[in-house]
Structure 1
Amino acid sequence: MAIGEVMYRRRLKAVALAVPFVVAVSLGSTAGATSLAAIPCDVTALNNAINAANNNTGPHTIRLAPKCVYNVLTPASTGGLGLNALPIITGTVTLLGDKTTIRRDPDATEGFRIAEVDGPNGRLTIEGVTATGGGYLEYGGTYLPRSGGTLILKHSTVTNSTANVGGAIVVDLSSTLEMHDSVVRDSAAVQGGAIYNGPGSTTLLQKTKVVRNQATEFGGGIFTAGVSLTIKNSHIEGNRAFQQGGGIYNDRAPMDISSTTIADNRAGQMGGGIANDGTTTLTDTKVRRNIALNGGGVWQGTSGGSLTLVRSRIFDNTPNNCRPVGVILGCTN
């Protein structure tokens, strides 16, 4: 089911930028060397550089000002699923930061996310940037790759954002998300407090932390209904869902988790660590100290899915490790 077809009976309550210069430089002297736009700490400069990259009239790699806060009061673009702080990414764009922040101004009168990445050619890579304060939208409080778009986050943080679906990030309509050495924290939604991996889409989390997010329904940390969700060497910790899947809710999708800790998550009903209605494999992974009404570690649903343990442990969860009893081989209660 496409995201636009989902009906919601309740909404989240509100939780509580002179045209500057752009300097283009060349990296190296060999043929095909990558050009780079170094911009000042100014939102207009950032928007101009992104538009130039989209239109192939300027460098595709943009170096942001170190330790700058790009404070966005007025959105720069409107997409099919709401307003965006930055121009919609339709080409190849790389933003390089150094302790740099892009935020929605707390005094902004409109709700908007930080960036939308539209396929089939939109590809946004962000490195060394904190994005914060986005949202008050239906979909994707901070980032929204859609229609085949690609979003890659490296050494970056996404925090303090809200939406009804995907409090921080929605991966929509056959799009791709990659996160490496990054963090998604303190965000909220109805479904997918941090990340919503939508139908047809692919998400990879590597050395990434998904912490202290919450959902009023399913998937306090992550909700996945996509082609695949792969998690490696990561931490899914301290998230909460008021219904199912405190850490992760798997809605009939393939999910592969390895060398990861899923701990200290909570669900009001089932699946404190994981509520699984899909096909999941846990390899060298620990599911511990999670809490739910039932299935404190893992709740295995009745939709024909399965959860396989490979050198993995589910232990010290409350009030039990796995439910229903006997469905997950190798899990002791």
Structure 2
Amino acid sequence: MSRRHVPAVLGLVAGALVAVPAPAAHAATVQVRCSVADLVAAINAANNSPGPDTLRLARKCTYKLTSPDSVNPGNGLPVITSEITIDGRGATIRRDDRANNVPKFRILFVGPTGNLTLTHTTIRGGFATDCPAFADPPGLACGGGVSNTGTMKVTRSKFIGNTAKSQVFAQGGAIDSPGTGSVSETEVTGNHVIYSGSDIGGGAAGAAIANDGPLTVIRSRLTGNTATVTEDTQSIAFGAGIISFAETTLEDTVISKNRSFAPGGFARAAVSNGIPAPGRLTVTGGAIKDNTSDAPHGVAQGGGIANNALMTVSNVKISGNRAVAEGGTARGGGVRVGPFGTLDLTDSHVTGNTVTAPSGTARGGGLDNPDGGTLTARRNKVLGNTVTATGGTAQGGGLYHAGGTTGLGTTTLEENTITRNRAGDGGGIFKASGILTLNGDVIRNNQPNNCSPAGAVPGCTG
């Protein structure tokens, strides 16, 4: 054979070799009977098979988990390590907390290589006492229902009555997502995040959802969730609806009737942003309503929203929220901007929010920017907000502004309507210091006055 034919022959051999196809990975669909053992076996088989798998649960079955996963006892089911869709078809996966001596464990954990799609499924009664995403320091608790360190998509599902509890720091009563996540058309209700320690400065964050990775929430409801901390430990209960520590988008979502409770500590709003977090929290459409931050003889900071990073809010109804601190300090019934916060608020309604601090200090019924943050508000209606403090100080029914320790805090108002708000002083606006400007705003019919101190807000009288 001549030398020039050798490449051609090798090429034919190589072609023959590559022409033999490898077994193709393809999607598999598995019908899972109404049996916990079958569900565990199906997840294990899907993790070990090539390609994506769909597990179709028995319609409206309740899978009652009475013991944790044998390999990872912090979880009720095997860790999701591959691409798996769980199509619940109305089924419930729950920790059977009504049975005797059932240990505490979350329902699902999505590992770093996992990719979970969860649809038409109820996750109930999970109880996290560990935090697989943050193993150091120990003692953290994350994600009572689901902890996601990979990729997770939740649609048309429910998370009910899940808990994350820790003596160090707890976050994500229902969902904790340091991975990449999305939640759509889903109800997250009656979940709890609890700091039960006795040390000073613990925390409980995100009773419904906590995320340290990118997250999108669309057309969902986060309702009736609670964040609580041990009394008189100067600890923080915050984000009873959602706490975001990364890029987050909320669209057309209702966040209502959530409660942060921190006696002798710090209670922050139902929607809270990081301290300070990279990325931006964007809220578009929907409502943040009837939430409560309660800190007896402590500090309540924001009933609806507490922002201490980058945040954009547009076309949102922020109504009926409460910041309460008997014998303490309460501020920002609707919205509170922290010292590192930058908030753009447009085309929204901030109505009927209240700040109450009997024998204490109450400020900013609708909006509060007291510590050097930046607030830009355009075309909003700030109506009927109230600040009261029997035996104490009550200022800024519509807005309270101060420049913070640097004196450089800035509030820019443009074409807003601020009316029918009420406080002890500065029924419309109270400006203590800093920079506050008006441009085409309507400020009238506030009690006992529109702006205070007299002359502090150029363009505002009475």
TM-score category (smaller protein): 0.7 to 0.9
Aligned-partner SS, 1:244:
strand
- 1:258 — aligned with what? 284
- 1:221 — aligned with what? 241
Give how far 1:57 is off: 6.1
Give how far 1:74 is off: 0.9
> One-letter code of the match for 2:180?
T
Do 1:272 and 1:297's aligned partners in 2 also have CA atoms closer than 8 Å? yes
- 2:368 — aligned with what? 323
- 1:17 — aligned with what? none
Aligned-partner SS, 1:127:
strand
- 1:11 — aligned with what? none
Q: How does 1:4-153 map to 2 (within 5 A)?
A: 34-56=27-49, 60-79=53-72, 83-106=74-97, 107=99, 108-119=101-112, 121-137=113-129, 138-146=141-149, 149-153=150-154
Give how far 1:132 is off: 0.2
Do 2:26 and 2:50's aligned partners in 1 also have CA atoms closer than 8 Å? no
> One-letter code of the match for 1:287?
I
**Larger Rg belongs to:** 2
Q: How does 1:255-294 map to 2 (within 5 A)?
A: 255-268=281-294, 269-292=300-323, 293-294=330-331
Higher RCO (CA 8 Å, separation ≥ 6 residues): 1
Aligned-partner SS, 2:268:
coil
1:238 corresponds to which of 257, 271, 274: 257
Do 1:153 and 1:182's aligned partners in 2 also have CA atoms closer than 8 Å? yes
1:165 corresponds to which of 156, 167, 171: 171
| Separation in 2, partners of 1:331, 1:166 | 37
> One-letter code of the match for 2:282?
D
2:350 corresponds to which of 314, 326, 329: 314
Give how far 1:171 is off: 1.1
- 2:182 — aligned with what? 178
- 1:196 — aligned with what? 210
- Stretches of structure 1 that go unaligned for 5 or more consecutive residues are 1-30
Could you report, residue by residue, the CA deviation over 1:267-297 in whole angstroms, capped at 9, with x for unpaired residues?
1211000111011111111111100021000
Aligned-partner SS, 1:50:
helix
- 1:21 — aligned with what? none
> One-letter code of the match for 1:276?
N
> One-letter code of the match for 2:224?
R
Give how far 1:245 is off: 2.9
Distance change in 2, residues 1:208/1:220 (3 Å): same
- 1:299 — aligned with what? 336
| Separation in 2, partners of 1:188, 1:331 | 37
Do 2:47 and 2:80's aligned partners in 1 also have CA atoms closer than 8 Å? yes
Scaled by the length of structure 2, the TM-score of the pair is: 0.61
Distance change in 2, residues 1:101/1:302 (3 Å): same
| Separation in 1, partners of 2:172, 2:331 | 25
The count of residues paired between Structure 1 and Structure 2 equals: 292
| Separation in 2, partners of 1:194, 1:272 | 16
> One-letter code of the match for 2:173?
G
| Separation in 2, partners of 1:158, 1:78 | 24
| Separation in 2, partners of 1:36, 1:311 | 46
Scaled by the length of structure 1, the TM-score of the pair is: 0.83
Could you report, residue by residue, the CA deviation over 1:166-186 in whole angstroms, capped at 9, with x for unpaired residues?
1111112xx112111001110
Comparing 68-77 and 54-63, the one that deviates more: 54-63
Give how far 1:99 is off: 1.6
Distance change in 2, residues 1:318/1:289 (3 Å): same
Could you report, residue by residue, the CA deviation over 1:147-194 in whole angstroms, capped at 9, with x for unpaired residues?
xx011111100010111221111112xx11211100111011121111
Do 1:184 and 1:209's aligned partners in 2 also have CA atoms closer than 8 Å? yes
> One-letter code of the match for 2:191?
S
Give how far 1:331 is off: 7.8
| Separation in 2, partners of 1:206, 1:310 | 19
Aligned-partner SS, 2:39:
helix
Could you report, residue by residue, the CA deviation over 1:236-260 in whole angstroms, capped at 9, with x for unpaired residues?
1000112333311111231000012
Do 1:124 and 1:152's aligned partners in 2 also have CA atoms closer than 8 Å? yes
Do 1:49 and 1:58's aligned partners in 2 also have CA atoms closer than 8 Å? no
Comparing 273-282 and 251-260, the one that deviates more: 251-260
Could you report, residue by residue, the CA deviation over 1:17-76 in whole angstroms, capped at 9, with x for unpaired residues?
xxxxxxxxxxxxxx9974310111001111111111111169610100001000000112
Aligned-partner SS, 1:87:
coil
Aligned-partner SS, 1:83:
coil
Aligned-partner SS, 1:84:
coil
Distance change in 2, residues 1:45/1:101 (3 Å): same
Do 1:179 and 1:206's aligned partners in 2 also have CA atoms closer than 8 Å? yes
Comparing 48-57 and 261-270, the one that deviates more: 48-57
